[in-house]
C-alpha cells in the first residue's frame, strides 16, 4: 500500500487510478492514514481507501476469505473499457511488487495502443522488442526472440 502510494504520481502519468479495498471501515482507514501511513509516505496514501465490511465486493472478485473474514491480497488491472486485464492473488504474508505492476500496465497499454498487432513476450520491459503475431511468425518465434531477452 505504502509502496503503491509512493509511486502514485508515476501511475497517474500512465493515466492509472488506484483504489485500495479492505474489510476495515473508512473510519479505520482514516486513523491508519493518520497514525501510520502518513509517517511511511510523504502526505500519506493519496488514493481512495474503500471499505468492504462483510467482504461483499471481495466475494464477487473471488478474494474474500470467509474463514478469516478478510480479503486476500488481490490486485486487478482494469482497462479503460472496464475489462479486467490482469489478476494477481497472494496469501497475506507476501507483499506485491510495484515494479511488476508498472511493467504489466505498460505492456497492456502498448498492446492496446497497437490494437493487438503487437504482443509483449516474457520479461518484456519498455524499450525491449515486441512480437507481431501473424501467420509469418508461426514456428519462427525462435528467430525473433531469444530467451536472454526475458531477463
Partner 1 sequence: MKELEIGCGKPTGSQVGEAEKEEKPMEKSKNKKEKIMASVSVGTKAPDFEAPAYQDGSFGQIKLSDYLGKWVVICFYPGDFTFV
Interface ranges with partner 1 (CB under 8 A): 1, 4, 11, 14-33, 36, 46-54, 56-63, 68, 70-87, 92-96, 101, 105, 108-109
> Hey, what's the cell of 70?
478478510
Least separation in angstroms between residue 108's CB and partner 1 is: 8
Helix or strand (DSSP H, E) at 91: none
> Hey, what's the cell of 142?
525462435
Residue 43 or 134: which CB sits closer to partner 1? 43
| Integer Rg of the chain from CA | 19
Least separation in angstroms between residue 100's CB and partner 1 is: 12
Residue 6 or 51: which CB sits closer to partner 1? 51
Q: Specify the residue for cell string 482494469.
A: 78
Residue 29 or 145: which CB sits closer to partner 1? 29
Q: How far is CA 94 from the centre of its chain?
A: 15
Amino acid at each position: 500500500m505504502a509502496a503503491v502510494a509512493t509511486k502514485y504520481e508515476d501511475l497517474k502519468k500512465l493515466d492509472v487510478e488506484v483504489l485500495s479495498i479492505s474489510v476495515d471501515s473508512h473510519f479505520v482507514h482514516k486513523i491508519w492514514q493518520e497514525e501510520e501511513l502518513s509517517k511511511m509516505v510523504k502526505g500519506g496514501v493519496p488514493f481512495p481507501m474503500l471499505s468492504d465490511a462483510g467482504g461483499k465486493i471481495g466475494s464477487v472478485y473471488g478474494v474474500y476469505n470467509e474463514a478469516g473474514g478478510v480479503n486476500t491480497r488481490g490486485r486487478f488491472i482494469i482497462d479503460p473499457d472496464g475489462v479486467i486485464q490482469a489478476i494477481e492473488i497472494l496469501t497475506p504474508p507476501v507483499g506485491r511488487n510495484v515494479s511488476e505492476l508498472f511493467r504489466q500496465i505498460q505492456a497492456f497499454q502498448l498492446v492496446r495502443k497497437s490494437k493487438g498487432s503487437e504482443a509483449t513476450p516474457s520479461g518484456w520491459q519498455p524499450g525491449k522488442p515486441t512480437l507481431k503475431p501473424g501467420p509469418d511468425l508461426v514456428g519462427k518465434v525462435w528467430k525473433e526472440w531469444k530467451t536472454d531477452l526475458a531477463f
